[in-house]
Amino acid sequence: MKAFLAKLDCGAGTRACRVETRLDAFRGLRTPRSKVPNTHAPRSKGIVRPKSVDTSVDAADTSVRATAVVVLALLTLACSAVAATGAQPGGELRFCLYSEPKTFNPLLVADTSSEAIRYMTAGVLIRVNRQTQELEPSLAVSWRVVSQGRGIAFKLRQHVAFSDGTPFSAEDVAYTMHTLFDPSLHAPTADSFHAGGAAVKIETPAADEVTLTFPTPVAGIERLFDQVGILSSKSPRKEMASLGPFYVAQYKPGSEVDLSRNPYYWKRDRQGLRLPRIDAVRLYIQQNRDMELIRFQRGDLNIMSAVSPELFDQLQARMPAAVRDLGPSLESEMMWFNQSPKAPLPAYKKLWFQSREFRRALSAAVNREDLCRLVYRGHAHPAEGPISPANRFWFNSGLKPHRYDPAEALALLGKAGFRLQDGQLYDAQSHAVEFSIVTNAGNQAREKIAQMIQQDLKAIGIRLNVVKLDYSAIIDRISQSLDYESCLLGLTNVDLDPDAQMNVWLSSASNHQWNPNQASPATPWEAEIDRLMQAQGSELNPARRKAYFDKVQEIVSQEVPFLYLVTKNALVAVSPSLQNADPSVLRPQAVWNIEMLALTQEVAKK
C-alpha cells in the first residue's frame, strides 16, 4: 500500500496544494478504518472496504487469482479515494482580501481577512444563514437552550471528519470551548459570551452530545456559535485541520492564501454529491482596489466585495451583468461630539457638545440626501439610527428620519441660547461657534462627507475645520488622550444581535465613544439606556428583547449622541462565470454560500 501511495504522490500535480489535497485523501483512506467507524467512510459508489476484500477471497484460490483480486481491490480503493475527495473538475475561485490575515486560528480572529478565511475553512455548530438571517444547524444537528438561558445543549452530527481525516466528536467541541475561554487568550469571540472570566462548565454526556453552562444567562446565545470555529483536539495539524468546506493549503505572506477543497466536508447537495463544488480558492492579498478592478475586468478575479461607488459605476458601464447593488448594508457613517468631562477642551465647548439642542440642530443641518447622492452616487441611504434596515429583526422601523431643515436647526440653536449674527453663530457667552472634526486620512468618502458637512454647517454660521489623521492617531485621540472635538468614522455591526453592542451603549464602557468609562451615568437618558441594555441582555424572550432595544434606538434618535449620517449599500461584482452566486449584505457577502458556488466549464478547466 505504501509503495502505491508513493507512486501516486510522485504523479500528483506540481503545485503544493494539489499534493496536499491528495495526501489528505490518502491519509483519510487509512485513518477511517482505524479511527472512524465504517459508517464514516465516504459513501461514494464503488467503495470496497478492506474487510470485505479479506472475507471475499477464498483461501483455497490460487495465488494468482488472489493477487489479481487484491490488485483489483487496490485499484477500486484508489478510485474510491478519488471519488471520496470529490475530484470533480471544479476549478479555482479567485478574489482579493484587502489586508493580511493576522491569524488562521479560528478562535483568535479579530480582523476582516481572517474572518473571511474562517468562514470558508472552519466548521461551526450553528450557522447564521446570511440570506434569511435565520439560524441553521451545521455541525450540531439540534440544540436547546437550558438552565434559564445559562446553558445550551447540542446534539452533534455524526460521521464527520476534519480535513486531515481525524474524526470529529464532542471532545473536540469541549476542547474548543476550553481553549476559547482561556482567560489568557482574550479572544473577541469569547468576550461576546460575556462570561466575565468565570468558569464555563462543559460536559460531554455522549460522543455526540455537549452541554455548556455559563455563570449567567447569555442573550441570544445560539447565534454566537456562528463565530466559534471548532478545533480538533487530536489532529496533528492542530488549528489547521478544518471542518469547513476548504482548508488552508498554502500561505504566501503578503501575496496570497490558497485554500483547497476539504475532501471530508460533511455537506452534500440535493443530488447527494459531496460539496463544495469548487476545488480551490485563491485569495490575493491586495489593498489597491483599482488594481483589483483591472484584474476583475481581465477575468483574473471572480468576485469583488465591498466595491466603492466610483468603481461600481465604472464597472456598471463596462460589465453591467457583473455588478449588484444589494441595498443597505450593516455599515454606516456617523459623527459624534466629545462630551467627556476629562477632555482637554474649553469649558464652553463642552457645554455646546453636552447640549441636546445643539446636537439635534447639527443633525438637522446636515443634508443626508446630498451625502448619499454626491458622495455615494446614490448607493447609500440616509441613516436613521444605530441599526441598519439590513438587520431585519432588530431594525426599529418606527424611528423618524432625520430631516434636513436648516431653519429648524437655527430654531433649536436659538432655544439653546445661540444667536446668528452676520453669518456667524455665537453662543450665549459670545463665543464664535467653531470646532474641528477628525477623520481618517485616505478614506475618500469620509473626506468628502466632512467637506460637505463643512458646507452645511457654514449655512447656519458654524465654522468646521476638517482634520485628517492616520488611523492610529485617531484611535489615540478618541480612546486615550480624548483631545478632539468631534469625530467622523464608520460603524460596522459584525453581529446582528445588539448584545454585541453592549460595550458601546453602557455608560461605563470604553467604547461609549462620546463619553467613555463613566463611573456613573452622566445623564438620565444614559442611565435609562444602561437599564434597557442590561434588561435585554438578561431577557430570553426575543420579542421582549426587541422591545427593550427599540426603546434604546428611540432614545438615541432623540438625544443624538451619535449623528448617524448614511447607511452604505452593499455593492459587489460577480463574474458571469460564477454560478449559484447569491450575494448577501452580510459578510462574507458573495461567498457566504461558497460550498454551492461553481464555475462555468470553460473557466473551471483553466
Partner 1 sequence: MSLDAAGTSARTTRLGRALLRIAATALAGGLLSATMVRFSPGFGLDEKQLDARLSRESQEAVLRSHDQERNPLRFYAAWWKRVFAGDLGFSQSLNRPIRELLADRAPATLDLMLWGIAGAWVLAIVFSVPAVMRRLARLAAVSSLFSGMTASLPAAGIAILLFRMGISAKWMVALVLFPRLYQYLRNVLQQASGRPHVLLARAKGLRWQPLLWRHVLLPARAQLIALVAVSINMAFGAAVAIEAICDIPGLGQLAWKAAAARDLPVLVVLTVMIALVTQMSNLVADLSTPILRSQS
* Residues in touch with partner 1 (CB under 8 A): 100, 102-103, 110, 183, 186-189, 191-192, 194, 196-197, 252-255, 285-288, 290-291, 294, 469-477, 479-481, 494-495, 500-504, 509-511
CB closer to partner 1, 355 vs 439: 439
Q: How far is the CB of 41 from partner 1 (least distance, A)?
A: 38
Burial 339-356 (b: 16+ CB within 10 A, else e): bbeebebeeebbbbbbbe
CB closer to partner 1, 8 vs 509: 509
Q: How far is the CB of 559 from partner 1 (least distance, A)?
A: 19
Q: How far is the CB of 293 from partner 1 (least distance, A)?
A: 11
Are residues 400 and 441 in contact, defined by beta-carbon separation less than 8 angstroms? no
Q: How far is the CB of 498 from partner 1 (least distance, A)?
A: 10
CB closer to partner 1, 51 vs 186: 186
CB closer to partner 1, 89 vs 196: 196
Torsion of CA 305, 306, 311, 312, to 10 degrees: 80
| Cα end-to-end distance, the chain, whole Å | 33
Q: Which residues contact 2 (CB under 8 A, 6 or more apart)?
A: none
CB closer to partner 1, 418 vs 514: 514
Helix (H, G, I), strand (E, B) or coil at 61: coil
Q: Is 299 left (phi over 0), alpha (psi -120 to 50) or beta?
A: left
CB closer to partner 1, 424 vs 511: 511
Q: Which of 168, 151, 150, 152 is nearest to 160 (CA)?
A: 168
Q: Which of 505, 525, 547, 479 is nearest to 360 (CA)?
A: 525
Q: How far is the CB of 586 from partner 1 (least distance, A)?
A: 16
Cell 420579542 sits on residue? 543
HSE (side-chain half, CA atoms, 13 Å) at 21: 26
CB closer to partner 1, 492 vs 580: 492
Give whole-number Cα distances, 168 to 79, 107, 230, 366, 492, in Å. Answer: 25, 17, 9, 55, 34
Task: Return phi, psi of residue 203, to 5°.
Answer: -125, 145
Could you tell me the three cell numbers for 38?
Answer: 465504517
Q: How far is the CB of 98 from partner 1 (least distance, A)?
A: 10
Q: How far is the CB of 114 from partner 1 (least distance, A)?
A: 9
Q: Count CB neighbours of 141 within 10 A.
A: 13
Are residues 187 and 221 in contact, defined by beta-carbon separation less than 8 angstroms? no
CB closer to partner 1, 55 vs 480: 480
Q: How far is the CB of 284 from partner 1 (least distance, A)?
A: 8
CB closer to partner 1, 194 vs 349: 194
Q: How far is the CB of 442 from partner 1 (least distance, A)?
A: 10
Are residues 360 and 404 in contact, defined by beta-carbon separation less than 8 angstroms? no
* Residues in the chain, overall count: 606
Q: What is d(CA 526, CA 534) in angstroms, rounded to the nearest whole number? A: 12
